[in-house]
Amino acid sequence: MSGQAKSRPNGMENIVIIGIGLIGGSFAKDIRRLRPKTQVLGIDANLEHLNEAEQLGIIDGTTTYQDLSKADMVIVSIPVDALVQELPKILDAVDDDCVVIDAGSTKALACKVVENHSKRRNFLACHPIAGTEFSGPSAALEGLYDGKTNIICEVEKTAFKLQERALELFQQLGMRIRYMNPEAHDKHIAYVSHLSHISSFMLGKTVIEKEKNERDIFDMAGSGFESTVRLAKSSPAMWTPIFEQNKENVVETLEEYILNLTEFKQLLLNDEFEKVYQEMDNTNRIKEILKGIPVGNEK
Footprint of a copy of itself on 204-223 (CB under 8 A): 204-211, 214, 216-223
Smallest distance from a copy of itself to CB 267, Å = 9
Smallest distance from a copy of itself to CB 190, Å = 9
Q: How far is CA 99 from CA 70, 164, 288, in A?
A: 12, 10, 38
Q: Which is nearer to a copy of itself, 156 or 209 (CB)?
A: 209
The footprint of a copy of itself on residues 3-32 (CB under 8 A) is none
Smallest distance from a copy of itself to CB 246, Å = 10
Smallest distance from a copy of itself to CB 147, Å = 11
**What's phi and psi for 126, nearest 5 deg?**
-130, 155
Q: How far apart are CA 235 and CA 239, in angstroms?
A: 6
What x/- string results for residues 32 through 71 when contact with a copy of itself is judged by CB under 8 A? ----------------------------------------
The footprint of a copy of itself on residues 76-95 (CB under 8 A) is none
Residues 6+ apart with CB under 8 A from 180: 151, 152, 153, 188
Interface size with a copy of itself, residues (CB under 8 A)? 98
The footprint of a copy of itself on residues 222-241 (CB under 8 A) is 222-234, 236-237, 239-241
31, 68, 151, 173: which one binds a copy of itself (CB under 8 A) = 151
Residue 244 binds to a copy of itself (criterion: CB under 8 A): yes
Smallest distance from a copy of itself to CB 37, Å = 31
Residue 109 binds to a copy of itself (criterion: CB under 8 A): no
Smallest distance from a copy of itself to CB 181, Å = 13
Smallest distance from a copy of itself to CB 137, Å = 18
The footprint of a copy of itself on residues 255-294 (CB under 8 A) is 255-258, 260-262, 264-265, 268-269, 271, 273, 276-287, 289-290, 292-294
Residue 183 binds to a copy of itself (criterion: CB under 8 A): no
